[in-house]
Amino acid sequence: MSPITNIVGGAAISAADAAATRAAGAASGATAFKVDAPNVRYTGDAIESDYTYDTTIVSRDAESGSLKAKPAKVGYRFRTKTGVGRVGLMLVGWGGNNGSTVTASILANKKGISWETRKGRQEPNYFGSLMMASTVKLGVDEDLKDVYVPFNQVVPMVHPNDVVIGGWDISSLSIGDAMRRAQVLPVDLQRQVYDELHQLKPLPSVYYPDFIAANQEARADNTIGGTKQEQLDRLRQDIRDFKQANSLDRVVVMWTANTERYADILPGVNDTADNLLQAIASGHSEVSPSTLFAVASILEGAPFVNGSPQNTLVPGAIALAERERSFVGGDDFKSGQTKIKSVLAEFLVNAGIKPLAITSYNHLGNNDGHNLSAPAQFRSKEISKSSVVDDMVAANRLLYAKGEHPDHTIVIKYVPSVGDSKRALDEYVSEIFMGGLNTISIYNTCEDSLLASPLIIDLFMMTELMTRVSYRTDADADWVPFHSVLSILSYMLKAPVVPPNTPVVNALAKQRMAMENILRAFVGLPPNNEMLLEHKAFH
């Protein structure tokens, strides 16, 4: 099947329709303001900013153990290309709950499709998307009142309504039938978008039964045969064909398929770039489908983001991305329960309260839950969820001795009758003043795919932006891209993959602050802070 059919944006819906129905925000490339400062320059195709990064270097005296803090400044120059161009998103697992839901939802937003509910008529929106439905503080006006702008208008970003969508799936169902199978969206909305989505067919995907649960075998009727090397070549050709057929400037690839088991990290197999490529050529059993997609994307210069918890980005894949200067990011969409955990644990520790035990229970009935009912796949999810408080614990040695950590238990059960409406119960037991105990219990019902789908949009928008950003320091002669591992995506991911020797940050407020202030740096603005000295200092 020609990949020209695998689209929602662009040729499938006319530019006139898109312009007439865009009620959810500004078009691709729009910004809400211009910076009036000598350190910022607007050229014909870019925004350039000179930026001073203030940090503090701490040294410890070897004998006394005393600390010395020394302020330091590093000069950066950032260049952000303003031309977004025509951008595509290829989803691995396009026919899953997340893939079919985000495709149908973008179509509804693009065409302004509303639908009837028990409470009345519902208009489409991008609620749940950090980029599309949240704001950032720009500064204060002449009356010292805060001024806010949409997150997606700080720098030029692609608009989801303008995205061309395609992808792969081991199931041959059309995206319309996959949407019906998922049972996520209201029936009246499904009815209105079905005919258009039914024309969209996923490309055959890679299926290795050893990596996902045996209960997924019945779905696997749309697979690529041949050796692993032949499959890699086929995936690379799919990306090239999709890009050419739809006249795209860039393509982002995202894994939103089943959770796989962890791949074993083996010396000589997946530990270096060359070893990984050789392992693919020889058909080694520990090269997973998701790693094969990551390698195909890297070699085609298409950024790859892993939205599931398995260790797709093995050391060899990261090394290959660094060598090819291609972007990767992961792991595992951070949607509901884990996002709350990264907020509440940060609050408790920062308040001087010591979490002793965190117990998380989930049950859900969608295909993700079905796949996770297998022990090896559950273990991947357990690992991604369990590390979410590590950085907060490590930051407070007043509460935790070295090596000490809260008890952390995670349970996931498959209950078909609840469908996509996941139930999550969390209990936090903490030590408070003078040996007392405090227990917080949270019961959360969340529509799983309606929380995860906006993350696909956010990850795509931020990843695409980073393909247009370059920088240089005072010591650099040439413009260079950011590191291949996009740690800026951490807010949307449970187990953020970061560059070597880089600390992992899981605290949600820190992750959002980092993303917000990096975007401000791209346009030459200082980082936001909440000192509010303009209100506290004597006038």
Domains of the chain listed by start with CATH number:
3-26+84-333+450-522 (3.40.50.720), 337-447 (3.30.360.10)
For residues 143 and 152, give the distance between their C-alpha atoms in angstroms, rounded to a whole number. 26
Helix (H) or strand (E) holding 385: helix 375-386
Say what the pLDDT of residue 3 is: 38
Say what the pLDDT of residue 323 is: 97
Helix (H) or strand (E) holding 367: helix 367-372
Say what the pLDDT of residue 157 is: 96
Provide the residue-wise pLDDT of the chain in tens; the chain has 539 residues. Answer: 333 344 444 333 333 343 433 443 467 777 889 999 999 999 989 999 999 999 999 999 988 889 999 999 999 999 999 999 999 999 999 999 999 999 999 999 999 999 999 999 999 999 999 999 999 999 999 888 999 999 999 999 999 999 999 999 999 999 999 999 999 999 999 999 999 999 999 999 999 999 988 888 889 999 999 999 999 999 999 999 999 999 999 999 999 998 898 999 999 999 999 999 999 999 999 999 999 999 999 999 999 999 999 999 999 999 999 999 999 998 889 987 888 888 999 999 999 999 999 998 888 877 777 776 667 666 766 666 667 788 888 889 999 998 899 998 888 888 888 888 888 899 999 999 999 999 999 998 888 899 999 999 999 999 999 999 999 987 777 899 999 999 999 999 988 999 988 888 988 999 999 999 999 999 999 999 888 887 776 65
Return the DSSP state at 134: -
Which one is catalytic: 332, 391, 420, 458? 332
Which one is catalytic: 201, 381, 385, 391? 381
Say what the pLDDT of residue 102 is: 98
* 137 has catalytic annotation: no
Residues paired with 441 in a beta bridge: 427
Return the DSSP state at 416: G
For residues 434 and 92, give the distance between their C-alpha atoms in angstroms, rounded to a whole number. 52
Quick check: helix, strand or coil at residue 236?
helix
* 332 has catalytic annotation: yes
Q: Is the pTM of this model over 0.95?
A: no
For residues 12 and 393, give the distance between their C-alpha atoms in angstroms, rounded to a whole number. 50
Say what the pLDDT of residue 475 is: 76
Angle between helices 315-324 and 289-299 (to 10 degrees): 10
Helix (H) or strand (E) holding 171: none
* 494 has catalytic annotation: yes
Which one is catalytic: 422, 426, 448, 458? 422
For residues 314 and 294, give the distance between their C-alpha atoms in angstroms, rounded to a whole number. 10
For residues 287 and 270, give the distance between their C-alpha atoms in angstroms, rounded to a whole number. 8
Specify whether the CB–CB gap between 262 and 290 falls below 8 A. Answer: no
Say what the pLDDT of residue 501 is: 84
Which one is catalytic: 201, 228, 354, 494? 494
**Two tokens, residue 404:** 């000490």
**Number of Cβ within a 10 Å radius of residue 343:** 13
